[in-house]
Chain A
């Protein structure tokens, strides 16, 4: 092809006019079909490349600037492209050529387009030399800042901070003036934009100007007539506070912050709450402490009122979000305030909230207990905690019960085994016979986590007898729960307890009159098989499974056969492993190991290897490298070597 040759022989030269007439390219950008037009714009860099840097500057960019009226979708793509165009117009020396089209894009109505144009302008501002910044960029910002329609003024707000640090002091003064003007703009849209950039702008200003200019703007915006403006000013508070020396905070920031915390609009109060911990870190604690109690009281009333009052199902996301933000902020404060203050000021609040009529509020407090625990220890709370937990545990809504179950392991860990045995154990067992399956399931899982925490011995003494006792319950659902518990607990309890205590019960249940129980016996045996020693497997489990495989119920039959074949597959795979990797000693010894659980790991990894091998065989060799990484975190070191062996073999094969 001649075009390729052309390029090949004249590297570095600009594109050839005869090959890529601008008219043809521009036709593409004008195509009647929006989708095609959009595609062309997305490949604008290709077109620029074909034209070469000079013609991109003199022909393409003027065209783009003049014909900016298009669908927003196309404009968005254009705004994004132009941010990466510096090299295509000839490097930083010529980057200012990109300003005219981006300036027009920064004035369009559609927010996403405008934002993207501003983003691109911010990006290329960094590529301007200080001189170009003053000659080309800053005048553009000024034009935007004094534009007729609000859109251009909104865009200007985002550009001040990128040019301020690199211009002369006269120009700096002008920029500050423009920003001030926009903060008191006639339209709330512009004031919102200015307020949202206040923090960012403050960061690039000299400290004196932060004190003289920014603080007054901050105060003005924080008392704007529209709450949408006020709350954005509050957001800026965090960055402003970090810039000021401690001694100025009380006089310059706190009055406004206090006022915002008591704003009549809940949106503003919410923003203060949301930003509270962040601000606190930067403010001196003693300064804020005076106001904290009153503020928290207001928030607490919000907290209750933001909850839906009626008997609705789970609350919607927004409210949940608002509330958890507030709750976690209050809980998070304890780490900042320290032990004594927490006990004096926060503890009463927690206790009040633990009695809140809305279960979600109580849950939020309980779910954030770890913060308090770090500071004052959970014992301080335990007396009030218990009634709250008991009440939640018996809540009429099962989702609430579910939520509290999920916190049980955490609570158990923090309250310790004694307290747990004394107060909470009965609750955990009661959930096992809840009438909602999800609760029983969660309760089972909870027991497993508790055993992981407190150990097998504790399990043997406290929960295993109770769980096994349920095997004789007249209700078949309870009997099945025993099986589910055994499934969950066997691994954590270990081989001894499983074989000696659990297995006999499971085997006995294979004679249950309800088919559901019987097929769950088959499933359980399959599940706990790996924990048992091979002797028990052969002499006790296998005969029972074989018997179940001839059951009259077809489901029982099915699951029994599943369990049997699963055991067989395992064995076959172990043999195979030894066959596939005869050279790898680790692997062979693992496969021959008497320890069932280690064997199982090998089997799993070998299965994985086989799976991979088949994949590797049909893919590009250069991609194989990434596959083993996928499995690595889960596997033991010996298995890693197995993997590398597997991949190596495949590599060799493909290379041949």
Chain B
């Protein structure tokens, strides 16, 4: 008799079915609730009461600005959305008021009195500025984990919507607004880019872009603070959710840089954008980053050398996935490179490419070998084949015999064929000397080993003597 049958046959006492270890009774929800979080922490306590106001359209036009201000003040009240049951009526009231305000700033004329500016900024600040809540998971991996969504989004979204309409409104006057939308405001805005909620970051992107466009006096400050965020991200925390969004804004900012580029901008490229490549989560913002880099090079081709040298310095050692990204970015750069710049960096560059081509990871090798399908790159290689061929030859020759992946071997044959057609004399020469070159390398290697052995003997002797074991 099987155990299963036994135990069900034995089901007599009421407590027994609770104990049946074979049925999976543990209560478990089929799907975990989507995680939500909010940092509107302190609003618990007494229920909130707001006195309902009439609709703006129901009052005569002269009274509207006054009512508009009152509504803005009411909307400064922040509700606790983690408690889904509290203040339901008032939450709904605020939502409809915000909706009304959004419509109002979009269509109305003459509402933006000078008194309205501080009230708008105050309402926006009260709602959006907050210390972001701690992440739910210790190591939040944006590629794997679901983002924690902002619980108060039903209100927050409308506030953002309202603020963007306000900034875009024809009546909006930056000269008045700059008193309220100042450095401190921008700083807090930038900190919000760390929000885990992608919807919020998307709105923030538009807001920051509008502010950058309309407030000339804040531009340098915004760039500097973004710098600081990136440097902290690269060198201190490796954690900031809004890097891609900030880079996207920077892409359009770089596009608008005047020529010749200021030293500040060049420094930003070399000291901030290039080191961003070292971050573990590169894949999340690589497209935007590569776009920024290429924008710079299109502006000023003389930056090619420092950029490529920078990439070579930070070339991934162990992460093949990142290596493929680097190769992709490099191809984008090579697409726009000037031949005079190419000559300057071809040696270190092709030494790296030669290493990639012989990578045991076939995706890396394949990505590098695809360069030979790019007509412009091919033309550059052809012009400089006397330099590039000797660098590449040994790797290519070896892979053609040794690589485990037949697709790679096939690609390498094509490349070798292309080289042979390009410069057959040099090709033959390199083929002829391949063996002796390898032997020379081996000999050198042996000499190195001997040198180190001698050095170590020496150290041992000295070490012993200084320890007093061998009397001097």
Chain A contact residues, CB within 8 Å of chain B: 1, 3-4, 7-8, 11-12, 15, 19-20, 24, 28, 32, 34, 36, 43, 45-47, 49-50, 71, 109-111, 149-150, 187-189, 192, 225, 227-228, 264-267, 301-302, 305-306, 308-313, 316-319, 322, 396, 398, 433-437, 474-478, 513-516
Contact A46 B136 (CB under 8 A): no
Chain A residues near B458: list those with CB within 8 A. Answer: 3-4, 7, 15, 46, 49-50
- Shortest CB-to-CB span from A47 to chain B, Å, is 7
**B10 and A149 contacting across the interface, CB-CB below 8 Å:** no
The chain A residue sitting closest to B45, CB to CB, is A301
Q: A288: shortest Cβ distance to chain B, in Å? A: 23
> A227 is contacted by which of B1, B12, B131, B235 (Cβ under 8 Å)?
B131
Report whether B451 and A24 are in contact in the complex, using a CB–CB cutoff of 8 Å.
yes
Whether, in the assembled complex, B218 has its beta carbon less than 8 Å from a beta carbon of chain A, the answer is no
Complexed CA–CA distance, A265 and B188 (Å): 12
A sample of 9 cross-chain residue pairs with beta-carbon separation below 8 angstroms, ordered by A number, consists of A46-B458, A192-B236, A301-B42, A306-B134, A310-B35, A312-B32, A316-B138, A319-B134, A477-B21
**Alpha-carbon distance A24/B448, docked complex (angstroms):** 9
Digitize B357-383: 1 where CB-to-A-CB distance is under 8 Å, 0 elsewhere.
Answer: 000000000000000000000000000
CA distance A228 to B20 in the complex (A): 53
A318 vs B448: C-alpha distance when bound (angstroms)? 50
Interface locus among B105-113, B120-128, B431-439, B459-467 = B459-467
Is B340 part of the contact surface with A, judged by Cβ < 8 Å?
A: no
| Contact across chains for B26 and A398 when beta carbons are under 8 A apart | yes
Given A266-B41, A316-B138, A319-B136, 10 more pairs with CB closer than 8 A: A11-B465, A36-B448, A111-B236, A188-B232, A308-B136, A312-B32, A312-B35, A316-B136, A318-B135, A322-B134
- Residues from chain A with a CB closer than 8 A to the CB of B33 are 310-312
Interface status of B51 (Cβ within 8 A of chain A): no
Residues of the A chain whose Cβ atoms lie less than 8 Å from the Cβ of B137 = 316, 318
CB of A74 to closest CB in B, whole Å: 11
Report the Cα distance A505→B433, complex, angstroms: 87
Closest residue of A by beta carbon distance from B457: A4
* CB-defined contacts of A43 to chain B, threshold 8 Å: 452, 455
Closest residue to A15 on the B side, CB-wise? Answer: B458
- Bound-state CA distance A110–B459 (Å) is 32
* In the bound complex, CA of A150 to CA of B82 (Å): 41
Q: Specify the chain A residue showing the minimal Cβ separation from B27.
A: A396
> Cβ of B44 and Cβ of A301 under 8 Å apart?
yes
Q: Are A309 and B82 in contact (CB under 8 A)?
A: yes
| A513 touching B6, Cβ below 8 Å | yes
Q: Which residue from chain A places its CB closest to the CB of B235 in the assembled complex?
A: A111
Given A311-B33, A474-B16; A264-B131 close (CB under 8 Å): yes
Q: Given the complex of chains A and B, what is the CA–CA distance between A188 and B227 in angstroms?
A: 11
A-B pairs, top 10 by smallest CB distance, nearest first, are: A265-B131, A317-B138, A474-B10, A310-B33, A318-B138, A111-B235, A316-B138, A46-B455, A11-B472, A316-B137
Q: Whole-angstrom distance from the CB of A36 to the nearest CB of chain B?
A: 8
Report which residue of A43, A306, A309 has the largest number of chain B beta carbons within 10 angstroms of its beta carbon: A309
Interface residue B319 (Cβ < 8 Å from any Cβ of A)? no
Q: Check if B472 sits within 8 Å of A433, measured CB to CB.
A: no
Inter-chain CA distance A148–B1, complex, in Å, is 84
Residues of B participating in the A interface, judged by any CB pair closer than 8 Å: 1, 3, 6-7, 10-13, 15-16, 18-21, 25-27, 29, 32-33, 35-36, 39, 41-42, 44, 82, 131, 133-138, 184, 187, 228, 231-232, 235-236, 271, 275, 313, 317, 351, 448, 451-452, 454-459, 461-462, 465, 472
Q: Which residue of the partner chain A has the closest CB to B10?
A: A474
| Given the contacts A225-B187, A312-B32, A50 and B19 also touching, CB distance less than 8 Å | no
Q: Once the chains are docked, how many angstroms separate the CA of A45 from the CA of B15?
A: 74
A7 to B460, CA, bound (A): 11
Measured CB to CB, the nearest residue on chain A to B184 is A225
Report whether A188 and B228 are in contact in the complex, using a CB–CB cutoff of 8 Å. Answer: yes
Q: Given A3-B458, A32-B351: A476 and B231 within 8 A (CB)?
A: no
* Contact of A50 with B187 at beta-carbon distance under 8 Å, contacts A310-B36, A318-B134 already known: no
Q: Which residues of A contact B36 (CB under 8 A)?
A: 309-310
CB of B27 within 8 A of CB of A8, answer no
A-side contacts of B1, CB under 8 Å: 513
User: What residue in chain B is nearest A306 (Cβ atoms)?
Assistant: B134
Given known A-B contacts A43-B452, A49-B459, A516-B3, A435 and B351 have beta carbons under 8 A apart: no
Contact A4 B10 (CB under 8 A): no
Report A-chain residues with C-beta under 8 Å of the C-beta of B16: 474-475
Q: How far is the CB of B239 from chain A (nearest CB, A)?
A: 12
> A149–B21 Cα gap in the complex (Å)?
65
Q: Please give, as numbers and ranges, the residues of chain A lying within 8 Å of B134 by CB-CB distance.
A: 266, 306, 318-319, 322
Contacts of B42 in A (CB 8 A): 301
Contact A150 B452 (CB under 8 A): no
Question: Is the Cβ of A435 less than 8 Å from the Cβ of B21?
Answer: yes
Chain B min CB distance to A480 (Å): 10
Nearest to B188 among chain A residues (CB) is: A225
CA of A4 to CA of B133, assembled, Å:
66
Contact among A24, A267, A398 with B131 in the assembled complex (CB-CB below 8 Å): A267
Nearest A-chain residue to B32, judged by Cβ: A312
Residues of A within 8 A of B232 (CB): 188-189, 228
> Once bound together, how far apart are the Cα atoms of A227 and B3, in whole Å?
62
User: Inside 8 A of B18's CB, which chain A residues have their CB?
Assistant: 433, 435
Contact A436 B26 (CB under 8 A): yes
* Chain B: minimal CB distance from A45 (Å): 8
Q: Which residue of A lies closest to B28 (CB)?
A: A313
Closest to B137 in A: A316
Shortest C-beta distance, A187 to chain B (Å), equals 6
Contacts of A189 in B (CB 8 A): 228, 231-232, 235-236
Known A11-B472, A267-B131, A513-B6: A46·B231 in contact at CB below 8 Å: no
- Nearest chain-B residue to A45 (Cβ)? B459
Q: How far is the CA of A147 from the CA of B133 in the complex (A)?
A: 36
Q: Which one of B6, B13, B456 contacts A476 once the chains associate, using CB atoms below 8 Å?
A: B6
Do A437 and B275 touch across chains, with their CB atoms under 8 A apart? no
Q: How far is the CA of A43 from the CA of B232 in the complex (A)?
A: 33
Taking a contact as CB atoms closer than 8 A, the residue among A34, A47, A71 that contacts B455 in the complex is: A47
Point out the residues of chain A lying under 8 angstroms from B235, CB to CB: 109-111, 189
Min CB–CB distance A605 → chain B (angstroms): 39
B25 contacts across to A, CB distance below 8 A: 435
Chain A residues near B10 (CB-CB < 8 A): 474-476
Measured between alpha carbons, how far is A534 from B175 in the docked complex, in Å?
A: 100
Residues of A near B313 (CB, < 8 A) are: 71
Nearest residue (CB) in B for A187 is B228
Instruction: List A contacts of B457 (CB < 8 A).
Output: 1, 3-4
Contact check, B19 vs A435: say whether CB atoms are below 8 A apart.
yes
Question: B7 contacts which of A36, A264, A477, A515 (Cβ < 8 Å)?
Answer: A477
Give the complex CA separation of A111 and B275 in angstroms.
Answer: 12
Contacts of B451 in A (CB 8 A): 24, 28
Q: Is the CB of B44 within 8 A of A474?
A: no
Chain B contacts for A301, CB-based, 8 A = 41-42, 44
Chain B residues closer than 8 Å to A311, beta-carbon distance: 29, 32-33
Whole-angstrom distance from the CB of B85 to the nearest CB of chain A?
12
A476 contacts B3, C-beta separation under 8 Å: yes
Taking the nearest CB of chain A, how far is it from the CB of B126, in angstroms? 12
A100 to B221, CA, bound (A): 35
